[in-house]
Structure formats: C-alpha cells, structure tokens
Structure 1
Amino acid sequence: MLRGRRAECEALERLLRAVRAGESRALAVCGEAGMGKTSLLEYVVERAPGCRVARAAGVQSEMELPFAGLHQLCAPMLGSLQRLPAPQRDALATAFGLSAGPAPDRFLVGLAVLGLLAEVAEQRPLICVIDDAHWLDHASAQALAFAARRLRAESVALLVAARTPEVTAEWSGLPQLVLTGLSDDEARALLKAAVPGVVDERILDRIVAETRGNPLALLELPRGMSPAELAGGFGSPRATAIPQQIEDSFRRQLTPLPVDTRELLLVAAAEPVGDPVLVWRAAQGLGITVAAAMPAAGLVELAAQVRFRHPLVRAAIYNAATPQERQDVHRALAEATDPEVEPDHRAWHKAQSAPGPDEDIAADLEQSAGRARARGGLAATAAFLTRAVELTPDPQRRAERALAAAKATHQAGSPDTALNLLSIAEAGPLDELARAHVLHVRGQIVFAQQRSRDASPLLLQAARRLEPLDVPLARETYLDALRAGRFAGSLGHGVSVREMAEAAAGAPPAPHPPQAADLLLDALAVRYTDGYAAAAPMTALALRAFRDAHICGEEGLHRFHLVCMIAMDLWDHETWHLLSRRLLRLAREAGALTTLHMALAARSLAHTYTGQLAEAAALAEEQETLTEATGRATGSRHESHSALMRVAWQGREAETAQLIDDITAEALKRGEGLSLTIAGWAQALLFNGLGRYEDALTTARQARQQTAEGAGGWEALVELIEAAARSGETDEAADALTLLSQMTRASGTDWALGVEARCCALLSTGHVAETAYLEATDRFARARIQGELARAHLVYGEWLRRERRRLDAREQLLTAHEMFTAMGMEAFAQRATRELQAAGGTARQRPVESHTELTTQEAQIARLVREGLTNNEISVRLIISPRTVEWHLGRIFSKLNITSRRQL
C-alpha cells in the first residue's frame, strides 16, 4: 500500500477484480499536482499481471498536435485496426496519418477507439493508463473520454490522472477518485522517511503545514533545503502555491548541474514526443556529448522513451530557461527533425525558435495547417494558423491568415478566440471580398452561439457586400441570413425578415440551371415578400429538387434541416419524412456529431406529427445516449422544440410547462421569436387536448401575433380555430379560417386540405359540417397523419353527439379513443372518454404491452434487434461496443425467458 492511500489502493484493486471478471471500468484520478496520481497509476500497473497495459501521457508542449496522445496509447494496438467497421477504421487511420482521406469526424474516431479497445481486450484484460490527462491534446481527450463513457463489458480499464482544477469537460463526467492531502500523521511519517539525518521538529511541523499533506511536496521540498535549514529552522514559511513550490524545488536542483546537462534537459523538455533518437540528434547539433546525461540520471530517463521523473520536472526545466535558450533548443530540434517524416513537428519547432516575424516559417505553418485539416485536427489547424498570424510580417498577409485562422478556430469550437482573430483580420488591409468573408464568418459564429437576433443583420450585410464579388457565396449567405431571421422572428432587431427577403429577391440570379439551394432561396424571398400562397409553387419546386438531387456530405448536412422545416410549412409530409430520414442517415454515416443531434430531433418531430410517439421517444432516448456518451451540453433549440411537441401531444401538463419556461427564457436571451411561437402553439395544443378551450384561445392568440410579426407557420391558427369555436368566438375563428384557407389551398396536399376541412366543419352545421368531417378523416388517412386523423374522429363524434346521433357518435369517439390510447396521447384520450360516456358508450380497456423489467438501454437494444439490426449496427447506433450489445442481449434473453433473436 502507498503511504496514506489505503482506501484509494483498495478501490483500485476492486477495479482490477471487476475487469478480470469481464466488466469494464473507467476512472479519473484527480488531485492537485503532487498528490500521488502517477504513483496510483503505477500501483495499478504493478498489480495487473496477465493483463495487457497501454500507456499515454499528456505533454504540455504537444497540446496543439491533434491525436498525439491517442496515438501514444493506440499505436501498439493498430494490428487490430482491420477488424473494425470500415468507417471507423478509415477515420482512425486518417487521424493517425496512416492513410489519406477526408477529415474524420471526432464522433467516428471516438467510436473507433471504443471498438479498438474492445477488440484488443478479447485476448486478455486491457489496462489503459493515461497520465497528465489535462495536458492531452483536445482531439485525443475527446475521443478517449467518449470511449470511456461507453465501456461496459469489454474487460477494459481506462484510468486517467488529471489535476482537479484543470479537469476538462471531457473527463468531468467519469467516476472520480479525488485525492486530498495526507493526514498530519501520515505526512510526518513520509517526511521523516524521506529526509535522513537530524531534522528539527519545528521544521517538520512547518513543512507538513505548508505542504498541506501533498506527498510530492513532502518529498521534494526538503531536497532544496540545506542541512542547516532542516536542523535549525532558519527562514520563514513561503506563501506560494504548492505546484509552484514543487517547481521551485526542482529548479533549485538544476542550479548545481553542469551547463551542458541543463541544456540536454531543456532539449528533452522541449521535445514533445519523447523520442530519444531525436533528442540526441538535436543535442549533438548543440555540441552536447553523452557524458552530459550522467548528472541528469535522477531527473530524466533517456531510454526507449524519454521520461521525466515527474511532469513538473519538465515544466521546471522549460520555465527556468531564458527565451533565447528556448529558441536555440527549438532551432536544434527543428534541424534534427526529418522534414519528410515529421513536417508538422519541424514547422512547430521552427515557429518556437523564431525571435520575431518570419514569412518562411509562417508559410510552413500554413502548410502544416492544411495537413492537420486533412487529418481532422481542427484544433491543430487553428493553432498552426494562429501562430502563423503572429509570425507574418506583411500586414495584408497577416490579415488574410487571421481570417483563415478564425474560420478554423470557429470550426474547432472556440468562438471567442475566433472573434478575436476576426478583429485582427479587420485591423489589417483587406480587400472587399475578404472583408465580406469576415462579416460572413462573424455572422456564422454568432448564429452558432444561438444568437439569431444578432446574426441575421450581420449575415445580411455580408450577403450585400458579396453580391458584386462572389454571386454563389452571396446567395448562400442570403439563405443563411433568412434562416437566422426565421429563428429571430418577432424578437429580431435592426432588420426584419421581410427586409432580408427583399434584399435576397434583388440578388443576382442563380446560374442556369439553378441548384436546389438557389430554388429554395428564391422561394423564401417570395414567401416573406408576397406571402405564403404566392411562394407555394416555387417552394414545392425547391423541395422536389432537394428530393431528387444526390446531395451528400457537408452540403446535405448543412441544408437538410432547413429544408425539413420548409416541408413542414408546406404540409408536405412525404418530403419531410424522406429528407429527415436522409438527414439522419447522412449524419450517422458521416459521424457528424452536432448534426446528428439535430437530425435525431428533426426525425423525432416528424414521428410526433404522424402520431408515432413511441418512435419519437426512442429517438429522444438515442439523443440522451449520445449526450451522455459525448458529454455534450443539452439545450439545443431543435431538441427542445421536438421534446416540447411530444409532451404536449401526450398531455403532460407539468412537463410541458417546465419546457415552455426553459424555452421562453432561452428564447428571450438569444432573441429567437420562433421559439416563443412554438411554445405558444404547444401550450394551445395541450389546453385543447385537456378541453380547456379558453386557456387554449388565450395562448393561441399570443402565438398567432408572434407568427404575424415573424416567420412562423400555420400551426397556431389551427389551435386558435378549435379553441375559438369551442369558446363561442365564432367570428374570430372565421377570420382565422380565412387566413388558414389561403395557405392550405396553396399547398394542396391531403394533410393541408384535411386540416382545412376539419376547421371548416367546426364552424359549419348540417350536411355541410358532416361532409367536411368525412373529407377530413379521408384526407388524413391518405396522408398517414395519425394524430390529426384521431382529432378529426374526435371532433366529428362530438358534433354527432350534439346532433343526438348517439350511435354514430359512439363509433367515431371509440375510434378516436383507441387511436389516442395506442399513440400515448392521454389528454386527448381522456377527452374522448368523457364524450363517449356522455354518448352512452364505454371505452374498451386496451391491454398494455410492456416489459418494465428491461432497462432503458435494454429496451432500446430489443427494439433495434426487432428491426433487424446486427450487433455491430446496434453498437454504432447506441455508441457502445458490440461486446456490450452481446452482454445486454444475454440479460434481455434471461429476463424475457427466451433463447434467440428470432423469439425477441
């Protein structure tokens, strides 16, 4: 046992026993510098005979190089790479530079790491230890943390050591073993064991108090003290932080070393890969001989890999050097690095060696940025370009590189840094095209930050500037501006959606033949200038173009979500389902994580409209799984809208109210009027389902007002008409029906005309009403819009009951009740029950099929097996390893008392 760490050691031994028994474990060992994290990792390794051990360690100077830490860990495992599914295999091979290809998505890389660890552990348990995880490059940390969250039954242990204040978002979701200082008794015992000779008790007390039980501080601080200091207590306690004290202690140990030894240590500290051949080659270039290594034996090991006694030794050595000494060492490392094998490391060392601006080095960094982008290293791309900006002497070239760096930094997920780089670009001499690009990027960043109100005027200004310079990009930017303006709606400021549409209408025409996006832009321009009916034929043409076009990759992922929203506006159920399904498939195939969240939300909403609430909920569960696996924060506008509509249809009043409160607060903060419209519409739908028509009328009126001011659709009108008709406000309902009819007839789909027929029936009498009710049920049945069909049966049955046709009423109400119950729309089902009882009928009790003994993930797996997916396909869908799928299936078979997938 390590001194003072009995409980921690016992926890680690339990972890090892679980892994040997076929389970998986992930653990973050957290604590301040010097708390013993590395010692505990070594404790695990020493007690893992028969297990395979893989190691990696973060290096501070290597943090900008993508996948460097991951390569450390996985390089010895690459013999198993061919056993992974092709998309994962290709993503990991591209990330490691083993093959050329498009930039791999981080989601696919993380899934590949999970699969690779599971494959390697098939032979014997695998222990992965990652020291100094707070210094891993972001790409590696993201991929490893992704895999760690999904480990379940692969016989893999993944242990990371990270400083407590610096635990990043990637690692924060893992189980943690938090290290605190040793007790005073343990600290005194450790200190006495480490310091030979006579030590004054007061000095012991002072060091114990000063170090607060930090084990490394207890061991290292006395080494920098003279015998007189230890024996007599001269000097006063220092108030510096513990890591700084430890670093100061290491630095004092460097002082008596020969000059060439200190220089050799600096070479090793500046070389991030830990390659001893490269270190010695650079040292020889500086005139350092092998003899210089002898005095450094206690601080660094120059064997198969360069390893310092502690990471803070490396930091102390590097920080103690003067800027000139660091530049000299990086220059020597650059000269020693093979430009054919490691061009990016060479360029980085050259950049660190530069005392001032240097165009040649900046150009090399620009090339490195291109290579990093090809490997999917967006953070490295941004880092190379940012350093290139600093080294560029020519102001115009510097501004151009700052613009490129801003784009890369935005894509890498650092919007604030990207905005700073844009400011540098704006300060330089840029031509008009570049200045328009700056505005475009700024608008994209602001929209990505979910500030639609601020984004739309920026994008409009960019589009106007681009018109005479780059027509295709100008039209694309107008489309982005209209999308942002659509979200801003009634909360937009400075420019309305109509103004943006007028500007887009005056843009240069699209090339012939126009692309699908060009047709959509023209349709939206007419939609917000001349109205819904005028734009409907053009919108249908644009949707047809998107359906027919073979769109894939970034273009498809960028545009399909907007197109799905437009299809919903046009009541085009077929296109909406086709494109939402295609968007989800593209997102899964590309492993595009952000888009996958959005695609799941879009597909879930499509299922909600057709009454397939179970399928919508399953996709929501998949979203939650994805969020958990990636540590991604929730709160996306798309996810919230989808969840809100589902619970409103289900009649869950408390959940609907909570979601509306959350969405409203976010909408006001971000300036997104569309979210307020959707919230009002959902609340009106809920109240109509509950039979609270006056409440529904109030909220529908508010939603209609926001729709009139902004860029919403028809949904609030539908709820307003039913609520007003039931509340006796027939004139208001008739006015709303007139407006609705203009839209439904322009659309001409069964869904649209079914909505119009049902609303007309609510305001009609006699034969006219009955004909309209029958038309509504017929059209909804053809369109397969089950929720709306059930509502049509419900209101038809209510009308029949008031007409005293009780037998006919019971037939319609019973149909509505059974449909609502089957779909899980409880509020509407209860409304149908009340009407059925009033008509003298009784609702049939529907047997409920459920397997409550299955966990959420087991139920997901069972559902996917039923759909015919293989274990590998399920593992990709649910972001777990195939071995974990197999483990879950065993539990499912046992719980359900079955023995095969066919029975399931």
Structure 2
Amino acid sequence: MWARSRTGTGVGPTGLVGREGELTELAGFLDMAAVEGAVLLLTGDPGVGKTALLDATAELAAAKGVRVVRGSGVEYETDISFAGLHQLVGSLPQELGRLPRSTREALDVALGLGAGPAPSRIAVLNAALSLFDEAAKRQPLLLVIDDLHVVDQASRAAVSFVARRLGGRRIGLLGAQRAESDASFRSTGLPELEITPLDATDALRLLSRRFAHLPRRILSGVAHEAQGNPLALLEFAGSAGVPGDRHDQGAGWASGPGRDVRALFGARVGRLPHRTREVLLLAALEGSGDIGVLEAAGGPDGLGELAPAERDHLVMVTENGRAVRFRHPLVRSAVVDGSTGEQRRVAHRRLAEALADQPERRGDHLARATTAPDEAVAAVVESAARSSLRRGDADGAVARLRRAAELSPDQTVRRRRLSQAAYVAAWVTGHLEVSHEIMREVEGVPAVRSLSAATTAGFLVLVTEGDADTAHALLMEAIEQAPMSPGPPSGELETALFTLTLASQYSGRPEHWQPLSTVLAQLPAASPAAAASLGRVHHDLGSVTEGMLRRLDEEISRLRDETDADVVIRTALTASYLDRLPGCREAVSRVIRDGEAVGSSMPALMFVALDDLYTGRWQPSADAADELVALSEETGYHLFAQVGHYIAAMAAALRGDLDACRRHCEAVWGWSGPRRLRRLENCAHQAAALAALGAADFETAFRHATAICAPGVLPPFNPEAVWSAPDLVEAAVRSGRHAEARRHADALRDAGVGHLSSRFALSAATATAMTSGAEDMVRCFEEALALPGVEQWPFEVGRARLAYGEGLRRQGLNRDARVQLAAARGRFEELGARSWEARAAAELRATGMTRTGRGKAGEALTPQELEVARLAATGLSNPQIASRLFLSPRTVSSHLYHVFPKLGIASRAELRDALEALPPEPPATRP
C-alpha cells in the first residue's frame, strides 16, 4: 500500500488543514498510478471533505504532469444508463476518434451518441477501457469520480470493470462515495480510504485560518456544533457574521451538519439573481454539465448569467471550457430543492428541446416535464424505451415503458405498455418480482385484457409454475381476437405467437399443438427465428426446406454483431433443433457473460450446455446444466430448471453415471408429471433410454424409448421422437423385436431429416444399417460412416462403429468386427463414455481378442463363457443374456453348465465372488 505516516504540521501542502496523512497517502497513490495503475475509493459522511481531497489530488496530479478527467454521480440521473460514463468519455473526444471503428461505435451507441446495432455490455466496458488506455499513451491519466453512490448502475459496472484492470496501465481511478450509501462499492473489495471528521484541534485551526476576524467564543461554538465536519465548519462560520444570524444568538444546530450545510447553500443560492438560478437549475438537472447542452437550453446569454454563482464559489467552469461543475454535490441539491415544481418542469422541457438528437435523454426530460397524461410525450418515451432495448439497456427500457404507461391517456394503450414492460422484465432482465408488480398494475386498469397482457401473464405462469394449460388458454383467446395482417406477424402478435409456441412445445399435447397448427397455417413464410418458423420446425423437422436452412445460416452469421438478447435467443432456439448451435455459440455466450439480461441468460445457458453435449464435451455440459438449474431455482424460473435437469441427465447417461442420470430424470418426472408437460417427460425418457443402452439393459431402454413414441411412428410436435429414434431401433434389435426395429428405422428414413445435418443423416443411416439384411449390412454401415461431416459428432460415430462391429460378430466375421469394435472402444474412451466403452470391450472379448482367466479348478474359461458368466453374475436371466449376445437360451445354459465346474462353484449366487477372484487379465492381443 502507498500509505505513509501522518505528519504533525497541521496544514497539508494544498492548504487543507488536518489532512496531512490523507494527502500523503494520496500522493503515494498518484505515484503508483502513474507507473503501474492504481485505484482508491474515499468514503465518509457528507461534507467530511471527500470532494476537497479529490480537488487537491487533481491539482497535485496536474502539477505532476498527469492528465485529469473528472465525472460525478447525479441523483437526478440514476435511471439513465451510462450517464456517468458519458461525462468521462465526453472529456476525451480526440482519443475517442482514434479508437478502431467497432470500439468507437460501441461507445457511441451505448452512450446515445450514435446509431447502430446494440453493443453488448462487455463490448461497452472493453471499449471504455480501450479509450482510457488510448488517453494514457502520451501521459498518465487520472479518472476522478465524485458521488459514486448516485452513479447510474451501468456506469458503476463500467467503473468497477475498469478499476479491476488497471494493473500495468498508467491509469489511476480515484472515487468518492458516502459511507452510509446502500449502493456501496465495498462488496467489490477495492481499496478504500475512510475520511473521518477533524479532531477539535484541527477544527479550531481551520476556523482560525479562514475566520480570524470572529471571536474565539463563536469559533469554539461552531467547532462544537459542526462535529468536525469541514464543510459545516466553513459554512456555519461563514454565516456567523451575518447580522441577525442564529449563530450570533448562540442558537444550536439540532440537525446533522450535512442537512444544515445544505440549508446554508440553499440560502446562498436563493440570494442569486433569478436568471442565474434558472441556468443553475438547468445544469443541475442536465447532470453532465455539458456547455453545449446548457447553451442550447439556456439561450445564447445563459452562460454569462452564471457569473454571480462563480463569484460565490458555487460553480466553476472547467479549464477546457466544456463543462460546468458544482463546488459540492450539496450545492446541486440545494439548487433543485430551492426550485418550484413548475420551474423544474420548464427546465426539463428546455433540456428536452436541446437534446433532440439523443432520444433517450430527450424522452427522460420530456417525461419529467409532463404531469398530466399526454400521448405525444408517451410515444416519445416509448420510442426511447425501444432504443434502450436495442442497445442492451433492458432495465432502462422497463423504466421508460412504465413511465410511458403513466403518461398514456388511453387505458388500453396504458395496459399494453405496462404489459410490455412486464414482459421485458421477465424475459430479458430476469426480474420476476418486478414483472409481477407491473402485472398487478395491469390488472388494476379497467379495460379488456390486451394481447400484451395475455402474453406476459401466459409467459409468467408458464415459466414459474409450469402451467401450460392456463398459458395456452390465455394466449389462444387473445390471438383469436387479434386482427391478422397479410404479412408476417410483428410486434405484440409476434411476441404472443412466440409465447404460445413455447407453451405448446413444453406441453407436447395434441389439444395444445393442434390449435397452434391451425394458427400457423394462416401465416406466410417468415424469418427462421420468427415464432411461426419455430412452430413449423417443432411440428415437423423433415418439412424444413433447404431455403430455410440457408436463411437460418445467414441469420446465424449475423449474430456476431447482434446483441439484442431476444434476437440471439430466438435464433439459437431454432438453430438448436437443426444442429446449428456451434455457429450461435459466441453470441449466446455473450448473453451469459454480460450478466445484465438474467432472464435471457437462462435459455442461453441451455444452448451452451446442449452444444457441449452434442459435440462430446460432457463435463462442461454438465457444469452449464448445473448452473442453469441453480440460477433458475434462485430466480423462480422453475420451468427452465427442468431443462437443466434433462441436459444433466443426458450427460450422465453418456458418461455411464446411472445414479446421477436417475436422480435428474426423477426430478423432471416429479415436477413435470403432475403438470402434464409431456415434452419434458419425454426428455427424461430419452435420457433414461440412453443410460440403459449404455448399460446393455435393452428391455429397460425399449420401455423408455417407447414411452416417447410407438415403434414405427414419429408423431408431430415431438422432436424427442426423432432424436431418440436410434435408441428405440437399437433397443428393439437387441431385445429381439426385429419387426418393430425395421418399422422404426423406415419411419426415421422416411421422415426426411437426413438433409438437416450430418448428425441426423448419420443417425438415420445407422438405424437403417442395424435393421438391414446380412447381405446389405456392410454396405449400409460403410455408407453411413462415409457421410461428410460426421466426425464432428464423436459419440454418434462411436455408436455406429459399435453397432457395425456387433453386426459383424453376429455373422461370425470376428476379425472385421474387432476393427470396428476397437475403434468404437477408443472413441468412447476418449469421450469418457464409461458404460459404452465397457460394452465395446465386452464385444471385443466375445470375439476372442482377450485372453481368458483361470478358475479355481484351474481350467480356462473361453471368451464367450467368460462373457456369459459376467452377465449372469449381474442377475440377468438366460433369455436376457441370449438376447444381448445374439445367442440362443440353450447355448447360454450350456455355457453356464461348463462355467460352474471350471470356477469351482455350484450356483449362480457364487458367480460374482468367483469372477472377482480371477487373476488380472493379460494385455489384449490386437490384430
């Protein structure tokens, strides 16, 4: 740390009394910042001297050749995202112009200085850091930010982001905030320096230096009443010589020093000329102190009217002449407190006119200038909300939509705007409590339920309670009453259709998807990410045309520059059905990483977990699924938690962790069953079937697979039927149900899904090969494994090779079988698919590839005897063993007849112990 011992001179080098230790520490901070970067937060009560120390440090920095850029929180701008960052960026126009175009545009759009695609939050934060880096190239840079406790949330995030990345940069960040603030930076763990009141000696020393003309009696009284608060000391003493002032009368100050100082500032402001107070009010409400805005709002002579306030040291104009700064935040508060409501409304209207090129700030000032419902103003504020949403400020969008609703004269329009705010709060920001609060307002408005209200109510009841019945009923009624335009749906109708599609998907029941199909049939072709396209994909995967796939690929390619979380999630949702998640990975990861769109980050986690699952990264997939479950339960989105359990169950099934798979499946069945969410139940059956196949429990696998659909049938609105079709075919083949297996393989081939992706093509071809005749089997498997692009699906390739090797062994082609089985075993070993690796190893042993062990009687078991014995030891019956090994029950019985005496046992109950007593097997003999 850069702190040094406190000196005893009483007066610091800048003339501050009693702050020698703080100034010494700040000087050390500056030295460190100029070389390797540093951050420090000053904390303390109002008026304790934080701002004075900021000023002193800024002066010292300038004297040392450090460039100083200042900003401050403004309590009237806490709901304007990046208002604080705007002040810092606005002081560096030349450096901003030198940034790469994409970086500069991210800041321009986020701060409302330009138009374009909404940047992600992380892009804005990185752009701000790049800007400060650029500014520090020629000389060290000091960022000074006062009143951090009232800086807007987005700017606070930027300050925290920059503060943690200053190591090795010639940048210092010095901030100040009130100690009692609820919005404290303390949770970030950044270095702090607490500024405490002056002791009695220093308080009197300060008063004596500044007010030597006052009697000692008055100075002692002021020192006592001010409680060591420097600002209170100076202001109380400054008013003590005024005739008739309460200090001369020996009156005490019952309230706190900060409140009394604010009152004294108010008195000084009140003595200023009327025109000066008008310009001060504009500066206080505008927030950034931008001279250009104040000139436009206050008229050509407005700045000249500030002279009386400057002479009274209430405000100052920065050296570059671009901004007006208040001496202390309490001065700003006193200016606003001393104005009337009408004066503030007039000031806001003038500021709105001056900010015509900044829609969000203009909308904010217009909203504050308007007290009665006004549709023209409400429309401007709603437009500002849409602008906020486009640039990624979902919280700002919610606040502005609510304000637009308040200003809406028409009750129906008011309900629509409130409902939209509630939907954004639930779907994008993840603030369910805010969404429910807004919906209670909606229910209180005496009007017919709007389409937006039905959409939000349906979405909330679906994601929180899993009530697809209520969601579907609400949405169908509202959509049927809504007018249908000739073109693709947009706006409220599109959002309603998307939510209806979600409800129908999770329900998976005909009574829900059949009405949806009727609605979809009336709609024209739309964007691949539109609700209508999603519904059609979900209804029939095979109906997706090459043209739609090309359009989807084009939309995915544009996601790199798309940061509207809603667009990203909808595109990725369609892509997830068509094996195109890898192209969406970067965009959905941004949604998660930014952390602002909590609601959208849950489906984003789904897509990351699914992408990892399909491409063989099963541990990351399980980790993302666990994170999804935890986040969903924490925030109340219980429906999304079930998807997390499903993905975790699939990862566990593939890795052979049967207990974990069962736990996750039971969680899904336990929650979804009573709610009749058939699709989620099917998802759990898919995972359970896959786990059983890995464990070679083909009867159980067949039972779970046929719970999803009957053999030979791929029903509509049941994508799990397509995805689990290879599971049903394999389970049917290995359990002796060859007719059912062929019917289902034919159904998968006829569904026409092979053109969607190489994974679908491989699955369909493998199913066909498993059920083909002996004369065609080799050709079918070779064609399947030769399909282009299949290597990106490692598990499916390993599974195809395992089935191929099993088929060859069944035909007695052991040498050829070993090639495929060894390749399958190697693939499964690489993936960590333990149960599938064991299956491949067992098949290899059955080909004679592994040497046998010797029993207690000393006679060797043959490879097939050893395999039969191992299966019998698990408790399987002779017919079950016969089915798995493609033998007859009579042959199995014959093998066991020879195994018992070789192992020196007399019953099946002794098999497990006898097998465990066998000596370790020698290394496998490979061809």
The TM-score, its normalising length taken from structure 1, stands at 0.66
| Structure-1 residue corresponding to 2:607 | 602
1:626 — aligned with what? none
Taking structure 1 as reference, are residues 445 and 319 closer, same or farther at Cα in structure 2, changes over 3 Å only?
Answer: farther
Counterpart check, 1:44 vs 2:57:
yes
Deviations 1:553-573 (A, max 9, x none): 5675242232244x2xxxxxx
Which of 328, 335, 339 does residue 317 from structure 1 map onto?
Answer: 335
Query: 1:482 Cα deviation (Å)?
Result: 3.5
Matches within 5 A, 1:654-733: 662=630, 665-666=633-634, 669-672=636-639, 675-676=641-642, 678-679=644-645, 682=648, 686=652, 689=655, 700=665, 703=668, 709-710=676-677, 711-712=679-680, 716-717=684-685, 720-721=688-689, 731-733=699-701
SS at match of 1:160: strand
Q: Which residue of 2 aligns with 1:479?
A: 498
Partner Cα distance (1:707, 1:542) in 2: 36
Q: Look up the equivalent residue of 2:570 and give its one-letter code.
A: R
Partners of 1:800 and 1:809 within 8 A in 2:
yes
Structure 2 counterpart of 1:440, from 455, 462, 465: 455
Q: Which of residues 498, 507, 519 is equivalent to 2:519?
A: 507
Write the deviation string for residues 42-86 of structure 1: whole angstroms up to 9, x where unpaired: 343233222222222222334455544333212242323344343
Which residue number in structure 1 is paired with residue 703 of structure 2?
A: 735
Counterpart-to-counterpart distance in 2, 1:201 and 1:697:
79
**Match of 2:150, as an amino acid?**
W
With over 3 angstroms needed to count, the CA separation of the structure-2 counterparts of 1:190 and 1:165, relative to structure 1, is same
Q: 1:15 to 1:762 in 2, by over 3 A?
A: farther
Matched ranges for 1:23-422 at <5 A: 23-48=36-61, 49-65=64-80, 67-96=82-111, 98-166=113-181, 168=183, 173=188, 175-177=190-192, 179=194, 181-182=196-197, 184=199, 188=203, 197-199=215-217, 203=221, 207=225, 211=227, 214-217=229-232, 219-220=234-235, 223=238, 235=252, 238=254, 240=255, 243-251=258-266, 265-266=280-281, 268-274=283-289, 293=308, 297-301=312-316, 304=321, 305-327=323-345, 333=350, 338=354, 352=368, 356=372, 387=403, 389-391=405-407, 413=429
Q: 1:515 to 1:92 in 2, by over 3 A?
A: closer
**What amino acid maps onto 2:52 in structure 1?**
S
Whole-Å separation in 2 of the counterparts to 1:793 and 1:452:
43
Q: Note if contact 2:293-2:351 (Cα within 8 Å) is conserved in structure 1.
A: no
For residues 195 and 278 of structure 1, what CA distance do their matches in structure 2 show? Answer: 39
Change (3 A) 1:732 1:186: farther
Structure 1 residue 297 displacement after superposition: 0.8
Q: What amino acid does structure 2 have at the position aligned with 1:643?
A: D
- Amino acid of the residue matched to residue 332 of structure 2? R
Q: Is the 8 A contact 2:646 2:683 kept in 1?
A: no
Change over 3 Å in CA distance of 1:20–1:296 after alignment to 2: closer
Change (3 A) 1:596 1:412: closer
C-alpha distance 587-823 of structure 1, shift in aligned 2 (>3 A)? closer
* Whole-Å separation in 2 of the counterparts to 1:695 and 1:363: 53
Residues 664 and 675, structure 1, Cα contact 8 Å, conserved in 2: yes
Higher RCO (C-alpha 8 Å, min separation 6):
1
1:301-334 CA-partner distances (Å, limit 9, x unpaired):
3674432221012102321334355456656x55
- What is the CA RMSD across the aligned residues, in angstroms? 5.8
- Tell me which residue corresponds to 2:748: none
CA contact (8 A) 1:463 1:475 kept: no
Which residue, 4, 7, 30 being the options, matches 1:16? 30
- Secondary structure of the 1:47 match is helix
| 1:580-619 alignment runs, 5 A limit | 580-582=582-584, 584=586, 594=597, 599=604, 602-603=607-608, 605-612=610-617, 617=620
TM-score, normalised via structure 2 length: 0.65
Q: Which residue of 2 aligns with 1:869?
A: none
Partner amino acid for 1:675? A
Structure 1 residue 182 displacement after superposition: 4.0
Pair 1:716–1:7, CA change in 2 (3 A): farther
**Distance in 2 of aligned mates of 1:799 and 1:185:** 95
Residue identity matched to 1:605: L
Check 1:410–1:678 CA distance in 2 against 1; reply closer, same or farther (3 A cut): closer
- Give me the whole-angstrom Cα distance separating, in 2, the residues matched to 1:283 and 1:350: 16
User: Structure 1 residues 809 and 819, CA, compared in 2 at 3 Å: closer, same or farther?
Assistant: same
Deviations 1:155-189 (CA, angstroms, capped at 9, x unpaired): 22233333345464899536141525347567756
- Code of the aligned partner of 1:247: R
Shift of 1:96: 5.0
After TM superposition, list the pairs within 5 Å mapping 1:553-568 onto structure 2.
Answer: 556-565=567-576, 567=577
Q: 1:308 to 1:81 in 2, by over 3 A?
A: closer
Distance 1:806 1:34, change over 3 A: farther
Q: CA deviation at 1:377?
A: 6.5
Residue in 2 that maps onto 1:852? none
Cα distance in 2, alignment partners of residues 743 and 470 from structure 1:
42
Match for 1:20: what amino acid? Answer: A
Gap regions ≥5 residues in structure 1: 490-495, 527-534, 568-574, 618-640, 646-655, 843-904
* Paired residue secondary structure (2:216): coil
Amino acid across the alignment from 1:682: A
Task: Map 1:486-497 onto structure 2 (within 5 A).
Answer: 486=505
C-alpha displacement at 1:772, in angstroms?
Answer: 5.9
Asked if the contact 1:270–1:330 (Cα under 8 Å) also holds between the matched residues in 2, the reply is: yes
Identity %: 26
Q: In 2 relative to 1, CA 64–190 (structure 1 residues): closer, same or farther, beyond 3 Å?
A: farther
Pick closer, same or farther for the CA change 1:748–1:232 going to 2, 3 Å. Answer: closer
Amino acid at match of 2:50: K
SS of equivalent to 1:53: strand
Q: Report if aligned partners of 2:204, 2:219 keep a CA contact under 8 Å in 1.
A: no
> 2:794 aligned to 786, 797, 803, which one?
786
Amino acid at match of 1:483: L
Q: Secondary structure at the match of 2:174?
A: strand
Does the 8 Å contact 1:810/1:840 carry over to 2?
no
User: Any conservation in 2 of the 1:257–1:295 contact (CA below 8 Å)?
Assistant: no
1:537 lines up with 2:542 in the alignment: yes
- Amino acid in the other structure paired with 1:584: E
